Structure 1
């Protein structure tokens, strides 16, 4: 019995075939191969597993989309948060522990941190290889190296019920939400210094957060009003972007779309909308609770080389200066060429002297008799250009040097 597909083979036999990114077992069943996960894919946390699906599924108008969502990791506990580093293929998730797994063949998960409270938000710094999480029960923001060797408390003072965390490694900033009274969106440098309150409102209950790195916006789900809002990194332009169907547990951005993981009555919903038009892009119903969502794709995690950017800017400026100098020298030499005196002579190949015609005010080409082939001169503003035309009717040689020259 084949789990996915059964196809005809030679001699009337059949063969089992699995969906893409699955491997076939000897008993005909199929299991996902973590080492064969190919971006881009959305990764979601369900009640008993971590699963993935193609981003296009959100936009397709097909029925029963849930069948195309595939489990990659089975877990014995609820997964309440997750985040992924697409460059190192590292997946981090929270149960009663903070765990990590490499999306490679045969890799097993390892615990980075035990003795934690409820963790509903995680994020990675894919440049410095650190993972952050917001501990709702212990009221602090934590940070750990990818291998778990160094773990420390980043922010704890005046932190009340933190729900989510998001990181912009290129801007060296971290953001988190708190659902105390009032609800807040805060930010700080990656070392926990320079804390700033971006949103502070009794009508806000910010749960999930995600970042638009290009526009430098913090998108967050306001559970109080069931809507999605955004605020700039500097705390300006607090704006409502969308109204969700249910309580939003997770947010992520891929290309021009924002995807939301929602939970209601032990069921889940993946909902997506366009950032600019704010129109609904698609829905995926799931017969399970969904607690988190992230996108596995390198384009979502840019690495800006500051040194390379500086060098590129310097080289660009130097190139512009060189071009300007060349243009100035060209026009200077052109304006300072000596005009040809009227009555000047040019020798042809037979040794004959030929007098150049007087200046032609409209610059017409005038033939010069007695020379081998045909030689024309164009006189404009007191300067002569000698143009040599060969005897063939198909073309001519043009010497764009001002002054007299031989043919």
Structure 2
């Protein structure tokens, strides 16, 4: 720690005590403190003696006054009246107004720097209590800003954002943020201040629906079906005696009543409709004649009979037994299931060994680890020894993350710097020099690595595009720019040539296309509201066994679907563990996810959602997450190198989707403003053959809807 003029400069990363001349109160600077002129700019967690201030803030003092981020005129954004603060865009908080009664590890919102006029904790100079923002993907209801630097008006909590900030399909919360209009009065608070659930009419269910204890409604047929259809599980409470009439000691009357089997054929009317006393069937053993027509086992009952099968077989038509395909049951094997006559066998993919006790296919080789962004840094957590380290530090607003394992390289997007970076990890897992791959990227909220063709894909929330570049960023291309509302998480499978992404827009959905932007289609469009993270479990060329997993922050749900959009499964629905999930990743038999509301990382069984465990908690702001292990990215052929350099393409060579055996292996694409020549390899300047149109230079030009625009 050292000083320069009136400034304090601190480069110590931990526990560096500095005095800022604020009435002798000390500040514990846990991250880097630096100066700008006579100002102190410090990304810190702030504690003072007595009344503690524990907000993670940017502390900026300039000429004993309130300063606003991004060198804007404070008077345009922050109105000070006495000790009160009016917050709108960039908000400065007087030091005399800072007081905290919040949890020592919580930095969720502005309310944790409570205004308290009677007990000032810091004296002038004024400082800026500037809480880092969440985008809409990070916290309930917070609307994403175009620049994604650390501002978030929704977290200021003093004045609402001007109504013009919300679109026609959205409503504005009292706390300022925008949410989907259809979330109003749905029983689940989405606004930070809960204003979307205020003054709502009493919720009633239609006669054919079941009303959950939380007031929501589900179909009446879903009550007591063995599944949690109500978020609180109330549809499965007290069901046993009310609905079950099974087992050898029970008999269900045709009129619906349930009686003891001992009362059947006792020559007394126990069922109102006399169905317990059929004269021709009582005491008749149908199995004595031709085995009752059963192909295997015949079991005589008091009334009638039933056919049964030996183990490994099942009834096909109530009488004939056939082989059971146990492999159709998800999770019956950890990875590979081989159906046999009368049974099945489990095997593991290359590189995995089956645990003899649990039957789980475990990865061979180095210890797998979780790598996740924590907004201000990137961290690593071993899944076996639980070694916990910081691998990239001093970041501004790090969100999206992916890696190229064969090159020991990680890529991440920083919303504050509007850039995508990379670094190489050495053998000890320590990062090297940070390289800027792409700059002037507006709002990169999703990043995916093509480890075979050495390309980087990302989604941009502000420009509503999905783009691709080389690893070094020298060549890049906007791949999709039409029909995207709010593109978020993305994933790629270069073995099959497909790209997948989630879209928060209205209507929300999950889509896929070729990694060259062709063959676009919707995978999930129903029972989906806020799809945040997606991840793939791919077994190319058997795409049926591959799965896409995603988390829905509105429905508090983790689901999966096959890569054709079929065989959808609900893995877990829990407001407790999926309060506001952001990203997820899958490895072996486990699924792992980050949760912004709980500031934690969880893991569970990927088939059933059972065995939920907490791997990390009390985090600053967990965002994207991946499993780092070489077996996740399987080796494959780079077809662009099979016939010369770059597939003969003059610009970029991208993998094509492998729809069938006749599909091309790759296609060439050109930079912006150019198009392919007839040979499909070389690029030329685009020729505009359309009729010239005079356009008013002052008018706003809206893009035409593309062929894939949602209806």
Please classify the TM superposition score into its range, dividing by the shorter chain length. 0.5 to 0.7
2:610 to 252, 258, 279: 279
Kept in 1, the 8 Å contact 2:580–2:596? The answer is yes
Report deviation, 1:281.
Answer: 3.9
Provide Cα deviations, 1:25-45, integer angstroms capped at 9, x if missing partner: xxxxxxxxxxxxx65211010
Distance 2:527 2:481 in 1: 21
**TM-score normalized with structure 1 length:** 0.61
- Cα distance in structure 1, aligned partners of 2:553 and 2:582: 9
Instruction: Say which of 15, 33, 56 aligns to 2:384.
Output: 56
**8 Å Cα contact 2:378-2:393 kept in structure 1:** yes
What SS class does the counterpart of residue 237 from structure 1 fall into? coil
Tell me, in whole angstroms, the C-alpha distance in 2 between the residues paired with 1:147 and 1:106: 17
* 3-state SS, counterpart of residue 87 of structure 1: helix
Q: Which residue of 1 aligns with 2:411?
A: 92
Q: Would the aligned equivalents of 2:368 and 2:384 in 1 still touch at CA under 8 Å?
A: no
**How does 1:223-262 map onto structure 2 within 5 Å?**
223-243=553-573, 244-262=577-595
Q: 1:222 aligns with which of 552, 572, 577?
A: 552
CA contact (8 A) 1:139 1:162 kept: yes
From 372, 389, 395, the equivalent of 1:70 is 389
Q: 1:41 aligns to what?
A: 369
- Equivalence for 2:328: none
Shift of the alpha carbon at 1:165?
A: 0.2
Query: Which structure 2 residues correspond to residues 245-324 of structure 1 after superposition, within 5 A?
Result: 245-264=578-597, 268-283=599-614, 284-304=616-636
- Quote the Cα distance in structure 1 between the aligned partners of 2:501 and 2:431: 34
Shift of 1:306: 9.9
**What is the CA–CA distance in structure 1 between the aligned matches of 2:402 and 2:497, rounded to whole Å?**
18
Partner deviation per Cα, 1:249-279 (whole Å, 9 max, x = no partner): 1111111111101112xx6210111112321
Greater mean alpha carbon deviation, residues 210-219 or residues 240-249: 240-249
- 1:24-39 maps to which residues of 2 (within 5 A)? 39=367
Q: Deviations over 1:4-56 (max 9, x none)?
A: xxxxxxxxxxxxxxxxxxxxxxxxxxxxxxxxxx6521101012111101013
Q: How far 1:76 sits from its partner (Å)?
A: 3.1
Three-state SS of the structure 2 residue aligned to 1:99 is strand
> Which residue of 2 is the match for residue 101 of structure 1?
423
Q: After TM superposition, list the pairs within 5 Å mapping 1:327-406 onto structure 2.
A: none
Alignment partner, residue 216 of structure 2: none
Q: State the secondary structure of the residue aligned to 1:224.
A: coil
RMSD over aligned Cα atoms: 2.2
State the distance in 2 between where 1:137 and 1:263 align. Answer: 22
Distance 1:113 1:55, change over 3 A: same
Aligned to 2:516: 191
CA distance in 2, matches of 1:162, 1:294: 19
Segments of 5+ residues of structure 2 without an aligned counterpart are 1-12, 14-365, 540-544, 640-711
Give the gaps of 5 or more residues in structure 1. 4-37, 59-67, 308-407
1:153 equivalent in alignment to 2:481 = no
In the alignment, what sits opposite 2:202?
A: none
Query: Deviation of residue 118 (structure 1)?
Result: 2.0
1:278–1:106 distance in 2 versus 1, CA, 3 Å: closer
- Find the aligned partners of 2:514 and 2:400 in 1 and give their Cα distance: 23
Distance 2:399 2:499 in 1: 20
SS class of match (2:631) = helix
Structure with the larger RCO, 1 or 2 (CA within 8 Å, 6+ apart) = 1
What secondary structure, in the 3-state scheme, does the structure 2 residue paired with 1:286 have? coil
Deviations 1:325-348 (A, max 9, x none): xxxxxxxxxxxxxxxxxxxxxxxx
Supply the distance in 2 between the matched residues of 1:162 and 1:57 (Cα, whole angstroms): 36
Aligned counterparts, 1:137-216, within 5 A = 137-201=462-526, 203-214=528-539, 215-216=545-546
Contact 2:367 2:383 in 1 (8 A): no
Q: In 1, Cα distance between the equivalents of 2:392 and 2:561?
A: 35
Tell me the SS of whatever aligns to 1:77: coil
Partner of 2:61 in structure 1?
none
More strand by share: 1
TM-score, length-normalised on structure 2? 0.35
Corresponding residue of 1:123: 448
- Answer with 1 or 2: which has the greater Rg: 1
| SS of match in other structure, 1:251 | strand
Looking at structure 2, the residues matched to 305 and 119 of structure 1 have their Cα atoms a distance apart, in angstroms, of 29
Distance change >3 Å, CA 53–CA 290, structure 1 → 2: same
- CA offsets 1:312-362 (integer angstroms, 9 cap, x no match): xxxxxxxxxxxxxxxxxxxxxxxxxxxxxxxxxxxxxxxxxxxxxxxxxxx
C-alpha distance in structure 2 between counterparts of 1:249 and 1:55, whole Å: 20
**Aligned-pair CA distance for 1:57:** 6.1
Question: In 2, distance between residues paired with 1:261 and 1:240?
Answer: 18
Task: Indicate how the Cα distance of structure 1 residues 111 and 203 shifts in structure 2: closer, same or farther if over 3 A, else same.
Answer: same
In structure 1, C-alpha distance between the alignment counterparts of 2:629 and 2:637, rounded to whole Å: 19
Q: Is the 8 A contact 1:175 1:187 kept in 2?
A: yes
